[in-house]
């Protein structure tokens, strides 16, 4: 199962495609420890999900350590390469339909409409006869809100939004009255009613925790200050890479999901000890961008953290390190575009953590594979040069 998790992230495959390729590819089977070619897979697609949840983030971090150890064994990296690191954060977006459009103000209309639909569907499934489902008028109220908001007629849009909130509240109260007579169904409706109440009570300009998706309530709205994408919906992720490029490429030394949308500078107290635990060595230099100003790194590492833009205590080595700080950006780009961190399809907060770690594992093993290919080509060329052309050997003989 660990081999399947590595292959999934290394080749950017879904669970279904991974199951199909495992039967067809003898290399996949050999990598997972099979001695003979298997014509039928010994596992089911759903078992991949269960094993990912069983392993968890703590056990998957061991795969990151193994990837770095394997890179060191084949000569793609040296242990000294990981004494100096670059730390940065990015956003791992969740596979949801954002209810806050890009370049627009937040709106809860679609969430309220969807929450009411889910409650009505659940009530019908368990045989609760509601006074009114608001299926037809709720749909027209949502359409009106979207049209008025697009036309910037916000008074009319707010009136339609108030109507949607009233319908959702009526359905919540009706179900609550019905459940008083059938207490055995309270557990079935507990989560749906809790989310519906949170959606109903939250406001457009509310600060703090909000619900942005009913099937993934752990999603957070994170603003990174990008003009083309003001808001991203997912979880903040910390990524650490070596300061200077290893022989085999820019490896990922550590990655961790950070729920709660913490300030970048306040993540170093958690991230630095974990990086040292993963690498098994003490860090001598940590380079960050200006977003880490005012950090709370451990006291013994506070003077080893260099934030971009600092003016005091600059040496030639630190200036050279600042010029290398942007080396983490293409690594983040590869993690997102090639290793399934751009859009997370795994459920719950544990899925956010697992997906980030597996993306780093797949990226590191891909670098090792490329290094071995380059090494094989170099050995073949060296052997051909030593042998020389056949016609020259004939003349010398």
What is the Cα–Cα distance from 283 to 232, expressed in whole angstroms?
Answer: 31
Confidence (pTM): 0.87
Number of domains in the chain: 2
Query: Could you tell me if residue 6 is inside a domain?
Result: no
Specify whether 275 is located in the same domain as 319.
Answer: yes
Q: Cα torsion for 248, 250, 251, 252, to the nearest 10°?
A: -170
What is the Cα–Cα distance from 290 to 267, expressed in whole angstroms?
Answer: 14
What is the Cα–Cα distance from 204 to 210, expressed in whole angstroms?
Answer: 10
Per the structure block, which two tokens stand in for 60? 């998957």
Specify whether 91 is located in the same domain as 119.
Answer: no
- Looking at residue 99, its pLDDT comes to 56
Query: Could you tell me if residue 354 is inside a domain?
Result: yes
- Looking at residue 397, its pLDDT comes to 47
- Kindly provide the b/e burial profile for residues 225-239, where b requires at least 16 CB atoms within 10 angstroms of the residue's own CB: eeeeeebbbbbbbbb
Angle at 342 between CA 83 and CA 243, to 5 degrees: 15
Specify whether 92 is located in the same domain as 113.
Answer: no
Query: Could you tell me if residue 89 is inside a domain?
Result: yes
Specify whether 243 is located in the same domain as 348.
Answer: yes
Query: Could you tell me if residue 143 is inside a domain?
Result: yes
Query: Could you tell me if residue 30 is inside a domain?
Result: no
Specify whether 268 is located in the same domain as 361.
Answer: yes
Specify whether 121 is located in the same domain as 163.
Answer: yes
Specify whether 163 is located in the same domain as 263.
Answer: no
The answer to whether 32 touches 333, Cβ cutoff 8 Å, is: no
Q: Cα torsion for 35, 37, 40, 42, to the nearest 10°?
A: 10
Pairing of strands 84-93, 285-288: parallel
Query: Could you tell me if residue 310 is inside a domain?
Result: yes
- Looking at residue 42, its pLDDT comes to 81
Domain span including residue 130: 109-215
Last residue of a domain, one of 215, 245, 279: 215
Query: Could you tell me if residue 254 is inside a domain?
Result: yes
Query: Could you tell me if residue 80 is inside a domain?
Result: yes
Long-range contact set of residues 244-248: C-beta below 8 Å, sequence gap at least 24: 244/81, 244/84, 244/324, 245/327, 246/71, 246/76, 246/77, 246/78, 246/81, 247/75, 247/76, 247/77, 247/78, 247/371, 248/71, 248/74, 248/75, 248/76, 248/77, 248/367, 248/368, 248/370, 248/371
Specify whether 283 is located in the same domain as 210.
Answer: no
Specify whether 360 is located in the same domain as 237.
Answer: yes
- Looking at residue 107, its pLDDT comes to 67
Tokens 């199962």 locate to 1
- 3-class state of residue 50 by DSSP: helix
141: DSSP letter? H
Specify whether 315 is located in the same domain as 276.
Answer: yes
- 3-class state of residue 316 by DSSP: helix
User: In whole angstroms, how far apart are CA 248 and each of 242, 286, 366?
Assistant: 12, 21, 10
- Looking at residue 79, its pLDDT comes to 92
Query: Taking Cα atoms as reference points, which of 136, 138, 131 lies closest to residue 176?
Result: 131
249: DSSP letter? B
Pairing of strands 220-222, 84-93: unpaired
What is the Cα–Cα distance from 253 to 250, expressed in whole angstroms?
Answer: 9
Specify whether 140 is located in the same domain as 194.
Answer: yes
Q: What is the pLDDT along the chain (397 residues), one digit of tens a residue?
A: 889 999 999 999 999 999 999 999 999 999 998 999 999 888 888 888 898 889 889 899 999 999 999 999 999 999 999 999 999 999 999 988 765 555 444 568 999 999 999 999 999 999 999 999 999 999 999 999 999 999 999 999 999 999 999 999 999 999 999 999 999 999 999 999 999 999 999 887 777 788 888 988 999 988 877 787 888 899 999 999 999 999 999 999 999 999 999 999 999 999 999 999 999 889 999 999 999 998 989 888 888 999 998 888 889 999 999 999 999 999 999 999 999 999 999 989 999 999 999 999 999 999 999 999 999 998 999 888 887 666 655 555 4
Q: Residues 6 or more apart from 2 whose CB is under 8 A from it?
A: 55, 63
Neighbours of 117 (CB within 10 A): 18
Specify whether 91 is located in the same domain as 199.
Answer: no
The answer to whether 307 touches 293, Cβ cutoff 8 Å, is: yes
């Amino acid at each position: 199962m660990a081999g399947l998790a590595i292959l999934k992230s290394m080749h950017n495959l879904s669970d279904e495609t991974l199951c199909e390729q495992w039967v067809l590819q003898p290399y996949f089977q050999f990598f997972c420890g099979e001695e003979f070619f298997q014509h039928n897979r010994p596992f089911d697609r759903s078992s991949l999900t269960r094993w990912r949840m069983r392993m968890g983030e703590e056990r998957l971090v061991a795969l990151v350590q193994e990837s770095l150890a394997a890179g060191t064994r084949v000569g793609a990296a040296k242990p000294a390469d990981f004494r100096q690191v670059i730390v940065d954060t990015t956003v791992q977006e969740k596979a949801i339909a954002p209810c806050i459009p890009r370049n627009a103000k937040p709106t809860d209309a679609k969430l309220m409409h969807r929450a009411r639909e889910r409650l009505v569907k659940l009530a019908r499934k368990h045989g609760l006869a509601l006074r009114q489902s608001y299926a037809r008028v709720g749909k027209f109220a949502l359409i009106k809100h979207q049209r008025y908001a697009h036309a910037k007629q916000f008074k009319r849009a707010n009136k339609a939004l108030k109507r949607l909130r009233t319908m959702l509240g009526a359905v919540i109260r009706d179900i609550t009255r019905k459940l008083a007579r059938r207490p055995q169904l309270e557990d079935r409706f507990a989560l749906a009613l809790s989310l519906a109440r949170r959606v109903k009570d939250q406001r457009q300009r509310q600060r703090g925790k909000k619900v942005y998706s009913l099937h993934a309530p752990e999603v957070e709205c994170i603003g990174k200050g990008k003009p083309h994408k003001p808001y991203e919906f997912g979880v903040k992720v910390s990524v650490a890479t070596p300061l200077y490029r290893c022989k085999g490429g820019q490896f990922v030394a550590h990655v961790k999901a950070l729920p709660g949308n913490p300030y970048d500078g306040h993540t170093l107290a958690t991230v630095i000890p974990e990086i040292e635990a993963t690498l098994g060595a003490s860090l001598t230099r940590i380079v960050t961008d200006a977003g880490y100003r005012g950090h709370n790194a451990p006291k013994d590492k506070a003077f080893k953290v260099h934030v971009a833009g600092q003016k005091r205590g600059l040496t030639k080595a630190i200036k050279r390190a600042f010029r290398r700080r942007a080396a983490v950006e293409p690594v983040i780009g590869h993690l997102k575009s090639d290793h399934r961190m751009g859009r997370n399809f795994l459920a719950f907060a544990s899925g956010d953590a697992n997906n980030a770690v597996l993306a780093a594992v797949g990226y590191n093993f891909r670098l090792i594979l490329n290094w071995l290919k380059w090494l094989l080509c170099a050995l073949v060329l060296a052997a051909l040069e030593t042998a020389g052309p056949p016609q020259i050997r004939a003349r010398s003989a």
